[in-house]
Amino acid sequence: MGYCFPLTIFLIFKFEVSCVKISGCVIAKNEEKNIARCINSYKDIVDEVIVVDTGSSDRTAEIAQNLGAKVYHYEWQNDFAKAKNFALSLAKGDWIIFLDADEFFAEGHCYNVKKYIKLIHRNKRFDGIGCRMANIQENGEIINYLRLRT
C-alpha cells in the first residue's frame, strides 16, 4: 500500500448554492493507522467531515468520531461507486473534497484549497479542481500522477 498526498490541490466537486461551504468525505475500512492523518490534514478548512465506514473491525470509526467527523456505517456492496455516492448524498457542502483514508494533504497545503475555491466559486465555468498527486510507495519510490474524476 502506498500513501498519497496532494502536492497542491485535490479534485473537488461543485454543487450550485449561494454560499461557499466545504465538505470533506472519506470512505474507510480498517484504516485506524491512517484516518487521523487524513482528517487532520484538512479538517481546518472544511465545514464538516463525513466518514463512511464500510465495515471496520478496528478503531477507525471511533478515531474519526473523536476528531469531529460524522461517521456513517454503510454495508459494503463490493462497489466503490455506491459507497462514494452514499457519502456524497450526506455531504452538505457546495464543494466536496474526497480523499481516500490513506491520502492526506501535505502540511500547510490544505489552505491552498480554500483559497482556490473562494477564487473560482462564482465562476460558473468550473465544476471541479484537479491536482497532481504524489504516491509514496512503502519502498520509498515516489510516483507522480494527475488524478481526475468526473
Note the pLDDT tens digit of each residue in 12-68. 444 444 478 999 999 999 999 999 999 999 999 999 999 999 999 999 999 999 999
CATH of the domain at 73: 3.90.550.10
Mean pLDDT value across residues 2-7: 44
With a cut of 50, say whether residue 150 has pLDDT above it. no
Count Cβ atoms within 10 A of the Cβ of residue 38 and give its class: 0-12 exposed, 13-18 middle, 19 or more buried: buried
Residue of higher predicted confidence among 1 and 93: 93
- Which DSSP helix (H) or strand (E) runs through 46? none
The range of the structural domain enclosing residue 20 comes to 3-147
Q: How many domains does the chain have?
A: 1
Q: pTM of the full predicted structure?
A: 0.78
**Sheet holding 128-129: strands in order across?**
70-73, 48-53, 22-28, 95-98, 12-14, 128-129
